[in-house]
Amino acid sequence: MKPWLCFVVAAGLTAYTTFTEKDFISSNTGFAQQQLKHMLRETETRDSLAFPRTTDKSGKMTTTSMYDWTPGFFSGSLWYAYELTKDPAMQRQAVRWTEKLEPLQHFTQHHDLGFMMYCSYGNAYRLTGNSAYRDILVQGARSLSTRYNPVTKSIKSWNAFKSWHGEQVYRYPVIIDNLMNLELLFFASKATGDTTFRHIAVSHAETAMHNQIRPDYSSYHVVCYDTANGKVLARETAQGYADNSTWARGQAWGIYGFTMIYRETKDPRFLKTAAGMADWFLNSKNLPKDKVPYWDFNAQEKGYTPGVRSNAVNVKTKYRDVSAAAIVASALFELSGYVDAAKGAKYRQAAIDMLHVLGSPAYRAPEGANGNFILMHSVGSIPHNNEIDVPLVYADYYFMEALQRYRHLEIF
With CA atoms as reference, report the closest residue to 364 among 299, 296, 290, 286.
Answer: 290
Single out the catalytic residue among 177, 321, 353, 396: 177
CB 142 within 8 A of CB 196: no
**Which of 347, 326, 328 has its CA nearest to residue 338?**
347
The CA distance from 62 to 53, in Å, is 6
Interacting residues of 210 by C-beta distance below 8 A, sequence separation 6+: none
Q: Is 177 annotated as a binding residue?
A: yes
CA gap 108, 105 in Å, rounded? 9
Q: Is 381 annotated as a binding residue?
A: yes
Which 8-state DSSP code applies to residue 161? E
- Catalytic residue at 177? yes
Cα separation, 355 vs 292, in Å, equals 10
Catalytic choice (56, 112, 243, 353) = 112
Is residue 112 part of an annotated ligand binding site?
Answer: yes
The stretches of 194-247 forming alpha helices (DSSP H) are: 195-211
Q: Which residues contact 173 (CB under 8 A, 6 or more apart)?
A: 156, 157, 158, 160, 161, 222, 223, 224, 225, 238
Whole-number Å distance between alpha carbons of 48 and 200: 35
CB atoms within 10 A of CB 302: 6
Catalytic residue status for 112: yes
Residues flagged as binding site: 112, 177, 237, 249, 253, 381
Residues flagged as binding site for substrate: 112, 177, 237, 249, 253, 381
Question: Which sequence positions are flagged as catalytic?
Answer: 112, 177
